[in-house]
Amino acid sequence: MSYKKILTIQDISCVGQCSLTVALPILSACGNETCILPSAVLSTHTGGFSGFTFRDLTDDMPLIQKHWQKEGIKFDAIYTGYLGSIKQIGYVQDILNTMGNETCIKIVDPAMADNGKLYSIFNNEYVEAMKPLCGSADILLPNITEACFLTDTEYKEAYDEEYVKKLCLKLTALGAKTVVLTGVGFTPDTTGAAVYENGEISYYTHHKFAKGSHGTGDIYASAFTGALLRGKTVYGSAKIAADYTYKCIENTIGDESHWYGVKFETAIPYLIKLLEEN
């Protein structure tokens, strides 16, 4: 069985089921060695909690990288998510450029926005700084909102295939080779992913829950990366990630006290089943 070494770079939100607290268990459950580089430590995520703490780890990054270089450590894949500062984006770019082995797959989730809005700590300067990082991705994993910010496109709630294709084309014009665009639905009660690979677009569509859930972008990106590194195709990984994320939401819906995330742990056996069956 293949056994890949992945580095994932994103924050630790101590409470809130997102970023590293979902990436690490999901990538591990997929059977991959998972190394982490925390971009920041927050007491909670920023989506609905107030007064959260934020410890920026930007200055630690080059020191950690230097030690890994001294040890001769290289990665089969590098997957980046929520980052802590503009300065950090430059360090992450250098890590993408230098810390992979010859076949390293670079996956960038430009985790910075949803539902037409940037997350609270980000601004347009951050968006501009993210563009080159996104351009260096082998696989770019934005949601529709992030894709609009990255391509200076007007965000729309309702759109057609032409709009989605244009977004994908503009994202590849940044330099990204392949795009997996999430949250794509052409009717109010459907959603899914658009996979743009080698100039061809394919869709995976399923039922959409009425209410959005926190952290599902990170769950999707982690399951996608985990499946891809287990040897699944890009489309196959996009489908596994969608089915798993759907199950995580289904397992949480109805529990109003669990507004801050989804119970992704309860669906890990299902993720493993999907990996075995697909």
Binding residues for ligand PXL (CB under 6 A): 11, 13, 18-19, 42, 45-47, 82, 111, 119, 215, 217-218
What are the Cα distances from residue 59, in Å, to 12, 40, 86, 179? 16, 10, 12, 31
Return the C-alpha torsion angle 83, 62, 229, 145, nearest 10.
20
- Strands of 142-244 (E only): list them: 178-182, 190-197, 200-207
C-beta closer to ligand PXL: residue 11 or 76: 11
- Quick one: how far is CA 245 from the chain centroid? 12
C-beta closer to ligand PXL: residue 76 or 145: 145
Closest CB 135 distance from ligand PXL, rounded Å:
21
Closest CB 70 distance from ligand PXL, rounded Å:
30
C-beta closer to ligand PXL: residue 104 or 241: 241
C-beta closer to ligand PXL: residue 61 or 104: 61
Q: CA-CA distance, 134 to 145, in Å (whole number)?
A: 14
Element containing residue 218 per DSSP (H, E)? helix 216-229
Closest CB 41 distance from ligand PXL, rounded Å:
10
**Tokens at residue 67, please?**
């030690």
Closest CB 46 distance from ligand PXL, rounded Å:
3
